Amino acid sequence: MTETTALRTAPLRARAEIDLAALRANVRTLRALAPGAALMAVVKSDAYGHGAVPCARAAVEAGATWLGTATPEEALVLRAAGLRGMRIMCWLWTPGGPWREAIEADLDVSVSGMWALREVTAAARQAGAPARVHLKADTGLGRGGCQPGDDWAELIREALRAEAEGLIRITGLWSHFACADEPGHPSIAAQLTCFQGMVAYAEERGARPEVRHVANSPATLTLPQSHFDLVRTGIATYGISPSPELGGPADFGLRPVMTLSASIALVKQVPGGHGVSYGHRYITPGETTLGLVPLGYADGIPRHASGAGPVLVGGKWRTVAGRIAMDQFVVDLGGDEPEAGAQAVLFGPGDHGEPTAEDWAQAAGTIAYEIVTRIGTRVPRVYVHESASV
Ligand SMILES: *Cc1c(COP(=O)(O)O)cnc(C)c1O
């Protein structure tokens, strides 16, 4: 019995089942949507809570030729786990970051300003090898990236000088959207125009990037003219729609990868008028049964979903009764009496009647990205369909 099989069959308190066949199918679907571009699977933040290394492997099996992370540390972990042969890019750098380690691990790095260009060229001198650098343009997001105008002119001039000295290779020119999940938002066209101008400026002065890239999941799904040479898909890789306004995952041929469930820890009868959980924010309306679900905000179940989060128990949707505590919450089972150990499904693909991460996002007043990404380390990830042949 493999370790994974043991985990799968053990009576766990709770588990996040990760369907790697769904993830591979999502990657293939996204590649078909952007046929002219390479695909970068964004696996930052432990693959949005799904587990970086197994998800990265599965994405590469399905044709992702790039992996993306926020921090260099996340990218170095992928190489250390034996992921070789594909490009890995990381973009969230702070002064003193592991530039030399990144060069030696064959990472692609992002540079948004002069301090970073100085640090990466110094590290390349020490390493005796050129760094692969993507110059990031702020085309309107107002977050990372170099401002157009004088700042971009200086960064391009100095980056080309470093390239001529053999210290860096300008492998990418890139940017990020502010409102790609709101098709038709005027900022989208404005950012594309700005990006094209900043790319043209760099190329006219001699930059020869392998890849120009700007599309995240919503742009990959809705805006073909943003695909350029590479699309960077995060949330869609995990089968979640970037925004319910764009449609559900099935509308794009995507399937949610994570199913979060728990074994009910206790079922008991209580009289009417019984307060439930801290603060007694729920009072039983009459005699009923309560089920104790052993997951709480320490596991990433948002406390904001108190009194609102949906759970499938015995084929019926139940709602969190009262407050979600650190480790547990209660559902009113309305007189049903499942055995302790019965399954409570918080969210999954939705095709077996269970709620979705999007339902939890709505219950908590947030986005589905946050729901899956915050599932804590106390919840074991159980991988199914690990073999690519399935
Ligand atoms: C997180 C991230 C992505 C992926 O965004 P999704 O909306 O999850 O596809 C792409 N690019 C950058 C720079 C990011 O930080």
**Residue range 331-371, pLDDT digits in tens:** 999 999 999 999 999 999 999 999 999 999 999 999 999 99
Could you report the per-residue pLDDT of 236-283, keeping only the tens digit for each?
999 999 999 999 999 999 999 999 999 999 999 999 999 999 999 999
Pocket test residue of 42, 74, 191 for ligand 1, highest count of atoms within 8 A of CB: 42
Instruction: With CA atoms as reference, report the closest residue to 341 among 260, 265, 268.
Output: 265
Q: Which atom of ligand 1 is nearest to 144's Cα?
A: 13
Find the catalytic residue in 136, 278, 297, 369: 278
Whole-number Å distance, alpha carbon 288 to ligand 1 midpoint, is 45
Pocket test residue of 134, 176, 232 for ligand 1, highest count of atoms within 8 A of CB: 232
Kindly state the DSSP code that residue 343 receives in the 8-state scheme. E
CB 74 within 8 A of CB 373: no
Pocket test residue of 216, 235, 237, 257 for ligand 1, highest count of atoms within 8 A of CB: 216
Which residue is listed with tokens 């439930």? 276
Residue 112: partners with Cβ closer than 8 Å, 6 or more residues away: 93, 135, 136, 138, 144, 145, 146
The residues that bridge with 108 in the sheet, in sequence order, are: 89, 132
Q: Kindly compute the dihedral angle of the four CA atoms of residues 270, 276, 280, 286, in this order, to the nearest 10 degrees.
A: -40
- Six-digit token string for 103: 């060069």
Residue 94: partners with Cβ closer than 8 Å, 6 or more residues away: none
Whole-number Å distance, alpha carbon 346 to ligand 1 midpoint, is 25
Whole-number Å distance, alpha carbon 234 to ligand 1 midpoint, is 5
Which residue is listed with tokens 């002064």? 95
Annotated binding residue at 326? yes
| Distances, alpha carbon 333 to alpha carbons 268, 321, 338, 362, in Å | 9, 10, 9, 22
Give residue 388's pLDDT. 80
Give residue 44's pLDDT. 98
Structural domains for the chain: 34-237 (3.20.20.10), 258-384 (2.40.37.10)
Residue 86: partners with Cβ closer than 8 Å, 6 or more residues away: 60, 64, 65, 66, 67
44 is catalytic: yes
Whole-number Å distance, alpha carbon 176 to ligand 1 midpoint, is 8
Between CA 363 and CA 367 the distance in angstroms is 10
User: In which residue ranges of the chain is pLDDT below 50?
Assistant: 1-2, 390
Q: Which atom of ligand 1 is nearest to 233's Cα?
A: 9
Whole-number Å distance, alpha carbon 241 to ligand 1 midpoint, is 13
278 is catalytic: yes
Give residue 11's pLDDT. 74
Whole-number Å distance, alpha carbon 218 to ligand 1 midpoint, is 9
Q: Is 292 strand, coil or helix?
A: strand
DSSP string, 118-143: HHHHHHHHHHTSPEEEEEEB-SS-SS
Give residue 8's pLDDT. 55
- Six-digit token string for 140: 């309107």
- Six-digit token string for 164: 């001529």
Annotated binding residue at 114? no
Q: Which atom of ligand 1 is nearest to 176's Cα?
A: 13
Q: Which atom of ligand 1 is nearest to 70's Cα?
A: 15
Give residue 1's pLDDT. 41
**Residues flanking ligand 1, CB < 6 Å:** 42, 44, 91, 176, 216-217, 232-236, 242
Q: Name the residue type at position 29.
A: T
Instruction: With CA atoms as reference, report the closest residue to 345 among 306, 370, 315.
Output: 315
Give residue 390's pLDDT. 47
How far does CA 183 lie from the centroid of its chain?
21
Give residue 203's pLDDT. 98
Q: Name the residue type at position 27.
A: V
Residue 314: partners with Cβ closer than 8 Å, 6 or more residues away: 333, 336, 338, 342
Give residue 376's pLDDT. 98
CB 170 within 8 A of CB 133: yes
Between CA 382 and CA 390 the distance in angstroms is 16
Protein residue whose Cα sits closest to atom 13 of ligand 1: 176
